[in-house]
């Protein structure tokens, strides 16, 4: 069987930018997107050819699967710029953790962004399940159960609106990521990687940091 991650057997990728610089690059791209001045970088045939045997993304974007949250578009990125992982409600599981650990330990990516968005269907479903006592069936239930701690935390703090819960869920997911992965926690400890929560506003297209800027 062909190795799914052939570069794992090669020396680690060297990334020359800091977590703060990586975040600024994402911010700059998002500002271009918001203002209607997107440059659509690194999307041509030449860039495609450059990446056949290597990749050196400067950020990981772990976001919700929502169709309105296309990471490369909202941050005005191209091929090879971001390592993207998406699940409904940016729910953590073993496959996600393995993907994120790979990005840190092999690709040496300096920044992991946990990206939520307003009017999130997964967070809404969780809130409704807690209010009605009626849980969804099968695997959707698993999503709701994993989001429940964030919604309960918001409610304990008197934050009852969905978009407040979205912010809390992005922030708490970033914290849980560090608690769940010793690999990522070690990278953060030695300042080679930062993990931050970000909330995206659908109407204006703006991505805003919802964790302490000092984490960068």
pLDDT for 16 = 80
Return the CATH superfamily for domain 14-215: Carbonic anhydrase (3.40.1050.10)
Q: Give residue limits of the domains in the chain.
A: 14-215
pTM for this model (two decimals): 0.91
pLDDT for 15 beyond 60: yes
At 4, the pLDDT band (50, 70, 90 cuts) reads very low
Alpha helices, DSSP H, located in the chain: 19-35, 45-50, 71-74, 94-105, 121-132, 138-156, 162-180, 182-189
Chain segment 59-111, per-residue pLDDT in tens: 999 999 999 999 999 999 999 999 999 999 999 999 999 999 999 999 999 99
Report whether 168 contacts 127 (CB < 8 A): no
Task: Quote the pLDDT of residue 13.
Answer: 64
Question: Cα–Cα–Cα angle for 170, 107, 34, nearest 5°?
Answer: 45
Does residue 21 or residue 13 have the better pLDDT? 21
pLDDT of residue 12: 55
C-alpha span between 129 and 99 (Å, rounded): 29
% of the chain exceeding 70 in pLDDT: 93
């Amino acid at each position: 069987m062909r190795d799914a991650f052939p570069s794992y057997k090669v020396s680690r990728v060297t990334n020359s930018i800091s977590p703060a610089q990586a975040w600024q690059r994402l911010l700059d791209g998002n500002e271009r997107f918001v203002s209607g001045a997107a440059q659509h970088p690194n999307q041509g045939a030449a860039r495609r050819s450059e990446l056949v045997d290597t990749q050196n993304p400067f950020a990981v974007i772990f976001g919700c699967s929502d169709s309105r949250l296309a990471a490369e578009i909202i941050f005005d990125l191209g091929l090879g710029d971001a390592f993207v992982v998406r699940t409904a409600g940016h729910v953590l599981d073993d496959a996600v953790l393995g993907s994120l650990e790979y990005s840190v330990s092999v690709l040496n990516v300096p920044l992991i962004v946990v990206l939520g968005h307003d009017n999130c269907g997964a967070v809404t479903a969780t809130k409704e399940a807690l209010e009605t006592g009626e849980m969804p069936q099968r695997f959707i239930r698993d999503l709701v159960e994993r989001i429940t701690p964030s919604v309960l935390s918001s409610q304990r703090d008197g934050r009852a609106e969905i978009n407040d819960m979205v912010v809390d869920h992005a922030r708490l997911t970033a914290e849980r990521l560090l608690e769940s992965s010793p690999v990522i926690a070690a990278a953060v400890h030695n300042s080679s990687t930062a993990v931050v929560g970000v909330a995206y506003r659908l109407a204006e297209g703006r991505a805003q940091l919802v964790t302490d800027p000092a984490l960068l």
